[in-house]
A and B are shown apart, each in its own frame.
Chain A
Amino acid sequence: MDLITPGFGLVFWTAVTFLLLLVILKKFAWKPILGAVSEREDSIKNALLEADKARQEMENLKSDNEKILKEARTERDAMMKEARDIKNNIVEDAKEEAKAQANKLMEQAKVAIQNEKTAAIADIKTQVASLSIDIAEKVVKEELSSENKQLKLVEDMLKDIKLN
C-alpha cells in the first residue's frame, strides 16, 4: 500500500523543484534554444526564397539575352541580305555599264575601221588610177612605138566600129 500512496514530502519537493526547473529552463534554455532554432529556420527559408527569386531573375535575364541575341541575329541576317543585294546590284550595274562601254568602244572602233577602210580604198583607188594611167601611158607608148603597131590598132578599132 505504501507503494501507491504518494508521500507528502516527495510531492512537495517535486512540485517546488519542478516549478523552479521550469522557470529557470524557460528563461535560460528553452527561449534561447527555440529562438535560435526558429531564427535559423527563418533565415534558411528566406535564403531559399531569395535563391528562388535570384534563379527566376537569372532565367528572365537569360530569356532576355536570348531574345536580344535572336534580334541581333535577325538584324545581322537582314543586314547581310541587304549588303548582298547591294553588292549584286552594284556588280550588275557595273557589268551593264562595262558592257555598254565595251559596245560603245566597239562601235567607235568599227566606225574608225570603216573610215580608215574608206580612206584606204579611196587612196588605193587614186593610186590605182594613177598607176593605170601610167601603165596605159607606157602601154600606149609601147604600142604606138612602130608603124605596124599603130596600123594594127587602127585596124582593130575599125573592126570594132564595123561591128557596131
Chain B
Amino acid sequence: MQINIFRFILIGLLFLVSFNGFAFNEEKATDDKFDPKEMILHHVKDAHSFHLWDWKGHPVSLALPIILWTDNGLTTFMSSAFHHDDTGHHIVEKNGAKFVKLHEKIYQLNPNETTVAFDEEHHPTNAVKPLDFSITRNVFMMWVSVLVLLFIFIGAARSYKKSENNIPRGIAGFIEPLVVFVRDEIGIPMIGEHKYKKYMPYLLTVFFFIWINNIFGLIPILNGANLSGNIAFTFTLAIFTFIITTFSGNKNYWKHIFWMPGVPVPMKIFLMPIEIIGMFVKPISLMIRLFANITAGHVIILALLSLIFVFKSVYIAPVSVAFSLFITIIEIIVTAIQAYIFTILSALYFGMATEEEH
C-alpha cells in the first residue's frame, strides 16, 4: 500500500514538473568545437534546469522553478522561460523586472536597461544578482533522494512493528546491518558507550544522506546530479557538524583549546591559537574532502569520456569506456567511503567535544 502511495507521489511530482516545463530550443547548437572544460564544468556545477538529452539538435530538459528574492519581493517563474538560453540574451520580464540567465546565474537588469552590457571579462555591467532560491537540479535531486530515504527507512521502521520479536523483514533486513554498523563502528567507538545515543540520529542521517546522493551522482541518466560534489552542500553539512561540536563541548574540551593542561605556560599560550584555528579547520576539512573527492570522480569520468570527442575518433572509445568504467567502479566504493569518513570524523569531533577529563 505504502509503495503505491510513494509511486503515485513520485510520478505525480515528475509529471507536475515536466508538463510545465518541456521546452525545445529554438536555435541550433552553433558552436561545433568541443570544449571539454566547459562540458565538464557544466556537468559538475549546478543548473537551473534538468537537461536530459538532445533530440534532433534540440536539448530536452526538465524545467524547474526559479525563485528569486528581488527588491520587488518574491519572483517565481519556470526555467523554461529562458528557452535554454544561457548567454544572457533572452530576457524574461516578470514582476516588473527583467531577468537574464548567464552561465547558470540569474541576473536582474537595472531599471530602464533593455540588453545586457558586458565588460572585457564577459561579466554583466548593468545587472545585479538577486538572491537565488531556485529549485535547481541539485535541489531537485536532493528532494528525490529525501523521498527515497524516507521511503526506505520509514518502510524499514514499519516492518519492525509488523513482525513479532522485532525480526527485520524485507528492506529492514538490508538496512539493519548498515544502521548497526553506524552505531557499532562509528557511534560507540568514537563517542563512547554512554553518550553516543544523543548523536545517533544526526550520524545516521548524515551517513545515508551523503551516501545516497553520492550514488545518485553516479547514475548516468541523472547526469550532473552532483549534489554531494557541490561545495554548498558539503559546506552546510560541515556547518551542522561544527555547530553540534561547539554546542556539545564540555569544560574539558574548552580547556584543551584555550589552556592546554599538562604543558608549561609558554606552550599553553603557543597552543591556544593553533587549537582555535583547529576548531575551524576540522569542519573545513570535512567540507573540502567530500566536495573534492566526489567532484574529482566526476571530472575524471567525464574527462575520460571527453577523449573520444577530443580525438574525434571512435577507436579511442573502447579505451575511454574501459577506463571510465574502471573509475566508476572505484567511485562506487568511494561513495560509501566518503559517507563513512564524513560520518566517522563528525563522530570523532563529537567524541572529542564530550570527552571527560581523565
Question: What is the interface of chain A, defined by CB distance below 8 A to chain B?
Answer: 2-15, 17-18, 20-22, 24-26, 28-34, 36-37, 39-40, 43
In the complex where A33-B160, A40-B165 touch, is A10 in contact with B205 (Cβ < 8 A)?
A: no
Taking the closest CB of chain B, its distance from the CB of A132, in whole angstroms, is 129
Beyond A9-B131, A32-B157, 16 additional pairs, beta carbon < 8 A: A2-B41, A4-B291, A6-B236, A9-B132, A9-B232, A13-B133, A13-B142, A15-B236, A17-B143, A18-B205, A28-B150, A33-B160, A33-B176, A34-B183, A40-B165, A40-B166
Q: Which residues of A contact B200 (CB under 8 A)?
A: 30, 34
- A9: chain B residues at CB < 8 Å are 67, 131-134, 136, 139, 232
Interface residues of B (CB under 8 A from A): 41, 44-46, 67, 103, 131-136, 138-139, 142-143, 146, 149-150, 153-154, 156-158, 160-161, 165-168, 172, 175-176, 179-180, 183, 200-202, 204-205, 209, 230-233, 235-237, 239-240, 291, 295
Given contacts A2-B45, A7-B132, A10-B46, contact A32 B160 (CB under 8 A): yes
Asked if A21 meets B149 with Cβ closer than 8 Å, knowing A10-B136, A33-B156, A37-B179, the reply is yes
Tell me the bound Cα distance from A15 to B142 in angstroms: 11
Establish whether residues A3 and B295, one from each chain, have CB atoms under 8 Å apart when the complex forms.
yes
| Residues in B neighbouring A26, C-beta threshold 8 A | 201, 205
Shortest Cβ distance from A119 into chain B, in angstroms?
111
Nearest chain A residue, comparing its CB with the CB of B204 = A30
Which chain A residues border B156 with CB–CB below 8 Å? 29, 33
Contacts of B135 in A (CB 8 A): 13
CB distance from A16 to the nearest CB of B (A): 10
A31 to B133 alpha-carbon distance, docked (Å): 32
Cα distance A8–B146 in the bound complex, in angstroms: 20
Contact A22 B160, CB 8 Å, known A13-B139, A34-B179: no
**Chain B residues, CB < 8 A from A2:** 41, 45, 103
Query: Please, which residue of chain A has its CB at the minimum distance from the CB of B68?
Result: A9
Is the pair B232, A33 in contact by a Cβ cutoff of 8 Å?
A: no
In the complex, what residues of A have CB within 8 A of residue B138's CB?
Answer: 10
How far apart are A14's CB and chain B's nearest CB, in angstroms?
Answer: 4
Q: How far is the CB of B250 from chain A (nearest CB, A)?
A: 23
Are the CB atoms of B142 and A14 closer together than 8 Å?
Answer: yes
Alpha-carbon distance between A17 and B145 when the two chains are bound, in angstroms: 11
Q: Please indicate the chain A residues that have their CB under 8 angstroms from the CB of B139 in the complex.
A: 9-10, 13, 17
- CB-contact partner of B237 in A14, A30, A31, A33, under 8 A: A14
Select from chain A the residue with minimum beta-carbon distance to B236: A14
